[in-house]
Structure 1
Amino acid sequence: MTRYGDIRRAKELTDALEKLRAWEDKTVKEKRALYKAQRGSSVRVKVNRTKGYVESFQLVGRIYLPVKLLSDSQTGSNATTLANTVREAVQADGRTVAVGFTLPTGGVLLDNMTGYRPARLSLTDRGAEVADSKSRITDLEYKRYDNKSVSSPFGSKNTGGETYAAAVAEISDIAAIKAFAQQEGNRVAFIPEVI
């Protein structure tokens, strides 16, 4: 059985459905133009990346896989602060290493593995509430913030043999990450390694 409230919303939802269908009929170029127009003055965090390696959590032995790491030369105040917080957290205890690092005895660089996705730390800094918060698809109002996100891969620490769960616990316990997570609306996320 349906509730009367759902029935009363039928016209509103029918209008939204018609707008959704009209959106689906637009070309990719038209959709991108509408997205850019709505985004307005919001600026994405553009980070500088550099080549590096992380040690796998799941592969047996000291296996190092290539990744793109956050560079220590970031530009822009917001990008610099957020990117450096992430970079310093994942670099702790050698969880990321630069190209040309000293390979431990028995270690292997596995440069051509396909389908590998490293574990990642992601920080999302909640920005100010955006004034124009209508959906560009349905034209319905919703709350939206000018968020900034930065993520970086990480692996097992330099002693090797660290589990993913242990790495997440240690990174979560870093003072800068704890302070970041305590700010209202900020989010800390960990994405596990995929082999």
Structure 2
Amino acid sequence: MGKYSDIRRGKELNEALTKLRAWEDLSRDAKQTLYKGQRGSSVKVNANRVKGYVESFGLVGRIYLPTRLLSSTQTTQAALINTVRTAAAASSRTHDVGFTVPTGGVLLDGLKGYKPAKLSLTDRGTEVADNKSRITNIEYKRYDNKTVSSPFGAGTDTETYQAAVTDIKGQSAIETFLQSTGNRIAFTPEIL
């Protein structure tokens, strides 16, 4: 049995459940229209990407796999994108298409299902004025956040994923970025 406070909220929660079920019955187009209407002036970060390579953490030897890297010619949201690109590229963790493969290194373009390790930074924006849920119409606090991610690989043939994560977290630009309230960093390990 629930707490008395949960029981007292029964009517309110039942109304929210009814609204949720009505939302679930909408078509995909109707849901997208409502989403766009609520998003208002918020602008998603559309990062330009170019072909590049990262060295795998999990394969034996100097194996470089293709990926999409952040372009250096980005103009919108350039500060956030430059921070992510610089952090991911530090210590030769990313490589442009024309890089010189070290002796004994192999470019492996045909590997299926590979997903490189990823660094993501989320920059907390200002609080959004229209903060009601488009589903239940309940108010909650919401921010105009911007998130940018970049793949990264091993900087040396012996570097582990955990060592790379520790090094990236320790960069002064990342530490400065994380000092702002609400800013976050996330890492995703590679999938072979």
Q: Which amino acid aligns with 1:5?
A: S
Flag as ranges the 4+ runs of structure 1 deviating above 6 A: none
Q: Which amino acid aligns with 1:102?
A: T
Query: After superposition, what is the alpha-carbon deviation per residue over 1:38-70, rounded to whole angstroms, capped at 9, x for unaligned?
Result: 000000111111100000001111111100000
Q: Which position in structure 2 is the counterpart of 1:189?
A: 186
- Partner Cα distance (1:69, 1:176) in 2: 19
- Partner Cα distance (1:4, 1:90) in 2: 51
5+ residue gaps, structure 2: none
1:88 aligns with 2:86: yes
Q: Which position in structure 1 is the counterpart of 2:173?
A: 176
- Partner Cα distance (1:102, 1:109) in 2: 11
| CA RMSD in angstroms, aligned pairs only | 0.8
Shift of 1:172: 0.7
5+ residue gaps, structure 1: none
- Partner Cα distance (1:146, 1:90) in 2: 24
Q: Which position in structure 2 is the counterpart of 1:44?
A: 44
How many residues end up aligned between the 2 structures? 192
Q: Any idea what SS the aligned residue of 1:123 has?
A: strand
- Compute the TM-score of the two structures, normalised by the length of structure 1: 0.96
Please list, as runs of the form range in 1=range in 2, the aligned pairs for 1:25-44 lying within 5 A after superposition. 25-44=25-44
1:54 aligns with 2:60: no
User: Kindly, what percent of the aligned residue pairs are identical?
Assistant: 65
Shift of 1:153: 0.1
- Compute the TM-score of the two structures, normalised by the length of structure 2: 0.98
